[in-house]
């Protein structure tokens, strides 16, 4: 069970879910935009039992890495590059994982 209410993670994921549900574009575009709202979340912001799920989401969103110019500057970040390359159904799976974590946090918070 959750040892505290993890309010920061709950707030950021609540905003993310809203963005994923109402934002313009396909799910890949919405994931890219939503990422900017939750990129500061770290494993420590989640209960132990959800940390591996969160890490999995982060890894999936950054699977293809950034595109780096010859001068070393970033042309396209890892999340944007990944979301451009994945299929829509893969984006939906990632969004569902985010929703699952959010629901787990809310249920644990309400059970307290």
Give the residue extent of every domain in the chain.
7-110
Show pLDDT as tens, one digit a residue, over the chain (112 residues).
444 679 999 999 999 999 999 999 999 999 999 999 999 999 999 999 999 999 999 999 999 999 999 999 999 999 999 999 999 999 999 999 999 999 999 998 776 6
- Write down the pTM of the prediction: 0.90
Q: How far is CA 44 from CA 47, 49, 93, 94, in A?
A: 7, 11, 23, 20
């Amino acid at each position: 069970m959750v040892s505290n209410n993890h309010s920061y993670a709950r707030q950021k994921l609540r905003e993310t879910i809203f963005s994923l549900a109402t934002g313009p574009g396909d799910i890949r575009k919405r994931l890219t935009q939503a990422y900017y709202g939750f990129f500061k979340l770290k494993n420590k912001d989640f209960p132990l039992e959800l940390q591996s799920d969160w890490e999995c989401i982060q890894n999936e969103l950054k699977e293809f890495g950034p595109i780096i110019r010859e001068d070393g500057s970033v042309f396209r970040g890892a999340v944007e590059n990944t979301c451009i390359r994945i299929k829509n159904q893969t984006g939906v799976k990632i969004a569902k994982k985010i929703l699952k974590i959010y629901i787990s946090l809310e249920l644990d918070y309400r059970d307290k």
